[in-house]
A and B are shown apart, each in its own frame.
Chain A
Amino acid sequence: MSDRKTLQIKQISAHPGPIPGLGVQRDLEVCKLVDTTTCIGCKACEVACVEWNDMPFAETTFDNTYQTMPETRWNFWNLIKFNEHQREDGTIQWLMRKDQCMHCADPGCLRACPADGAIVQYANGIVDFNQENCIGCEFCVSGCPYNIPKFNKETKKVYKCTLCSDRVGQGLEPACIKACPTGCLKFGSKEDMKMIAESRAAQLREHFGYENAGVYDPQSIGGTHVIYVLHDATQPELYGGLPKNPQIPWSYTVWKWLFKPVLGAFSMLGLVGVLLHYVTVGPRRPQPEPPKKED
């Protein structure tokens, strides 16, 4: 996975024509494995994400929890969710789950996106946002079953975890994986990660008394490129609201196959309007430059 082949584009949002190069090259799909049973909530992945992606510091407020903030933000893509769960016998489980983009095989964000090239899915499974093409409509926000894409009011663009496509494209693991001290985060091919996750779940069932231990890789969206080992795979909701059976809103399915071409035609009308405006009004005149400040 160490060459640019991994960043071969597989799907493009709102793109009418064929995908360039699709079917020509094939490569492994990548996957992040998060073993929640060995996560210690140290937040090294949170810091690594902020630092690698050069994000500005965000202000936070105490909210009766160890969790850094209630949910991910446009400038905070990786968040450990802390949940206290009281079992039937009265004992407490403190569950920690690293929340981030799941890089769905069938990405709801991409389906929902009306802007050509704002969201792409690479052949290796990474779903990436291209802010240059983003029109800020926030359809991706409602298309996501995990509440991941976040809108920045200042730039009017939407942001989320890139699975460090810049690092992965150069043969490196994502920053969060590199920072993890316990090894509860692993990165590799989907096939390998699935195998490691399943054998860990089996170990939890056989040797540690977690009868319902299992792997979270929901098939309702074709699986994800971030998978979890859970102490109790029958109750993913306990882990900060991980949906058991994530769904893309039906409207986006309809949208993708039916309305997109129609709306595409409407947008062509918009272009015609622009052309008319140019012809009738003329080109945009240069604006006077703002006065320069003395340093």
Chain B
Amino acid sequence: MTNGWIDIKNTDMMLIMGGNPAENHPCGFKWPIEAKLHRNAKMIVVDPRLTRTAATADLFLQIRAGTDIAFLGGLINYAIQNSRLAHDYLLNYTNAAFIIKEGFKLPDDGLYSGFDPATKVYDKSSWNYEEGGDMTGKAAAATALTGAAPAQHQPHTSDTASGQGHQAGGPMGAKGTGGAVPPPMLPPKVAYDLSLQHPRCVFQLLKKQYERYTPEMVERITGIPKDQFLKAADLYTSVRKDGDMKKVSTIIYAVGWTQHSFGTQIIRTAAMLQLLLGNVGRAGGGVNALRGHSNIQGATDMAGVFDILPGYLKMPNPTDTDFAAYLKRITPTAAKPDPWDSFNYWSNTPKFATSFLKAMYGPAATKDNDWAFNYLPKIDRNYSWVNIWNDMYEGKIKGIFAFGMNGVMIGPDSQKNIDALKKADWLVVCEIYPDETSEFWRAPGITPEELKKINTTVYRLPGAGFAEKDGTFVNSARWLQWKNVALPPPGLAKVDQEILATIFLKVRELYRKEGGKFPDPILNAWFPYTDPKNPSLAELAKEINGKALADLTDPNPKTGLTLKAGQQLPGFAWLKDDGTTLAGNWLYCGSWTEAGAMIQRRGTDDPSGLGIYPNWAWSWPMNRRVMYNRASCDPSGKPWDPERRQIWWDESKQSWGGNDIPDFKADSAPKDHMGPFIMNPEGVGRLFVPLGAMADGPFPEYYEPIESPIANPLHPNQTNNPVVKKYKTDMDKYGTPDQGYNVVCTTYRLTEHYHYWTKNNPMNVELVPEPFIEVPFELADRMGLRGGEKVKVTSARSHYIAKAMVTRRIKPMKIDGKETFQIGIPIHWGFRGIAEDADKTAKTLANQLTPTVIDPNAFTPEFKGFLVKIEKA
């Protein structure tokens, strides 16, 4: 979340889409309700079915699963056509005025400039800013859009002047491993047109891009009737009616947006809409991802993803022959209009990376050995989720550790995962219940003869449940919250860190005794814990925060503060690239300081009344509750809405301050025109994403899901995302309407169950006892199907059998003139659990249906919006 759960109470307007918070985040949903009760806030819910969230909405629109970009693109078009825009915000805080290089082409035919059909990869060199200066008035006469004059032009004095340009490398380190050709750079001085009239300025290109997303086109693609779409568009953009900047609207989403072959681009479209409306950085605004597990945010922050290191540092790849080359590749330099300033916070990357290496390898990381940079693995290819299983299926991966997840149930194409495990040599599962992964060999359809041929050795480790371990959860609002143990683990069960440390120490012992190809990273890994066999999580949390390795003085000379060697660091501004600091994750620096465990704080004061609660737990970065909060003020530093004051510029103190911690350079005066989006080298929000940061286009374009009932009405010859690659094993099958797969299917969770383990708890089972499939009343009527009767849903991959829930909450749709039905399947049931063990279910898995196809940016599978056929079972 850019904002936080509680902050939702400050909003005037909510768009909830790609998420179902009432069902999947019921405790957080109190805040949308608060906004309704206390601000008369309106709620628009867009979903494939009328959910329990939609039940409380002021306006509900039923959308075809996977067509979100068409809907959001339609909203962008509506906002531009009706001048429902935050003009000053757009001009000063986004790259709307930046001019794009000649040679860049919009995807009228479905393809941006630079596409290579043979490799299905874009050459992104034309997706870049033009180098130059002020082009205002040079393309056309300035128009009314330049409401406020930008800040005075003056030479900037920041440390960004010496920039050599940078490679805006993709989110994935492994990209661009091709060879010695230097990757394209962003120009340090970007050409711009403050009148926004230049035909190649971002705003004009954006306008042209989304002109095609007319209400009629939205209706053809999404199935939302034009009049309903217009009602929603008018309502959502009404916060900027007549140029008013006081009101704020928020967008709330979850995995209904991420789980598509263009998921990242859906979220980008939402971010662009929020930038156009000036909603980012403001109380009650933002783009808010609801994380689906109690600690999935923490897992991401701590690099539970293959292509990043903790704190979102990019993973090294084989071209990074030394630390300097790695830092050069991943450290951006500022790229902006010359008179503007840019904090470019990622310019501190060397400090973060060096401190991380000191945390990993301790005394073994020295200046002479490049801080042990070469101990880090270099990723040579894509090791994301679906690829791991594909590699195992192809026999390339021989074993897997499964902790805290049920890989067979997760899918996609669970049968492929089951078959992959059959080929593995070994499998280690740490769980609290017998689950489908540790018992994959009991999957339905495996005969006794086949069972004899499965040679996978399965090790089951008794894990501890969430109430049996202490530690932190990082919630959607980026809060690190400490929790205590409620119960000791039963029997032989052990906490994760004890299991992992025991394995690590054993492996290290083996390397010490027997040697190996490159034992140094294992032998020299720093493991300085009081009890190495069971490190305390408090000790680890302190290490992640970081400490001084030598006596230090505050980088801000005004404070005169000093730290002794060994003391906890107060924040990431103290980090150094000379080996005198250590921090496991720079982003968490400040969470456990000399003043104590910030993450254990329980202060309930909220002086501003905005729900900031600055003394409750701790949120990254630096306890800021709303990110980019500089944008909550106008260019002169005054809050857009005096009623919801987050931070502001104090002229007398010459500094930023207020109710929240400024997400900004505290002494940067408004006249210097430093951009509020300090993590971008431009300092501004990106409507257009230059260079390689996105694999599939600088603007989001609507593509159909890989399995879709129609050809893309925007460009029928380029229906799907052009850079998406399909998998090629015999298991990877994709269905088409011609083969009879003509019903759109989506998957989801229920309030009453949590993923794949509450099916073992009698109370949850009492609330929803059996699997079911939600079927529209009209479709059931045509099939002669009644509620409670069994149905069989078949995709190109497998089938799923459960009882039908016949409902009017999913209606038939007209998609490009064709009547289309949509069904929905909750994901919770498998072949182990109370109902399953009692033979009350067909023991099929919802994810046996889902396709192996992934988003090219985040590599998330397309669990939502695939094709099936349905029949009575």
Contacts and interface: CB of A to CB of B under 8 A. Distances in A.
Contacts of B37: 38, 200, 203
A58 B765 CA distance: 10
Contacts of A50: 763, 766
A59 B769 CA distance: 8
A211 interface: no
A46 B40 CA distance: 29
Nearest to A63: B788
Interface size class of A (residues with CB under 8 A): 35 or more
A40 B29 contact: yes
Contacts, number: 105
A40 B766 contact: no
B59 to A, nearest CB: 10
Interface stretch (B19-27, B368-376, B641-649): B19-27
A38 B36 contact: yes
Interface in B750-777: 751-752, 762-763, 766-770, 772
Interface stretch (A88-96, A100-108, A158-166, A236-244): A88-96
Contacts of A40: 22-23, 26, 29, 52-53, 55-56, 751
B767 A184 contact: no
Contacts of B768: 66, 68
Contacts of B763: 47, 50-51, 57
B5 to A, nearest CB: 12
Given A38-B56, A60-B769, A62-B788, A86 B808 contact: yes
A96 B58 CA distance: 16
B805 interface: yes
Contacts of B807: 84
A44 interface: yes
Interface in B37-58: 37, 40, 50, 52-56, 58
Give the dominant DSSP class at A's interface. loop
Contact of B33 (A46, A59, A96, A184): A184
B2 to A, nearest CB: 23
A86 B806 CA distance: 14
B808 A92 contact: yes
A53 to B, nearest CB: 13
Contacts of A42: 22-23, 26, 52, 751
B767 A43 contact: yes
A207 B38 CA distance: 11
Interface string A18-59: 000000000000000000011111111011001100000111
B58 A41 contact: no
A155 interface: no
A92 B767 contact: no
B840 to A, nearest CB: 9
A39 to B, nearest CB: 8
Given A38-B36, A57-B766, A58-B766, A182 B808 contact: no
Contacts of B769: 59-62
Interface in A195-238: 200, 203, 207-209
A62 B770 contact: yes
Nearest to B761: A57
A181 B52 CA distance: 14
Interface in B725-784: 751-752, 762-763, 766-770, 772
Contacts of A65: 787, 805
22 contacts: A37-B56, A57-B762, A57-B763, A57-B766, A60-B767, A61-B769, A62-B770, A62-B788, A63-B788, A65-B787, A68-B766, A84-B808, A84-B809, A91-B60, A92-B50, A93-B55, A94-B55, A96-B55, A181-B26, A181-B30, A208-B58, A209-B58
For the complex of A and B, list the 6 residue pairs with the smallest distance between their C-beta atoms, beginning with the closest.
A64-B787, A40-B22, A94-B55, A42-B26, A62-B770, A207-B40
Interface of A: 37-44, 46-47, 50-51, 57-66, 68, 84, 86, 91-96, 181-184, 200, 203, 207-209
Given A40-B29, A95-B55, 6 more contacts: A40-B56, A42-B52, A62-B772, A64-B787, A68-B767, A209-B58
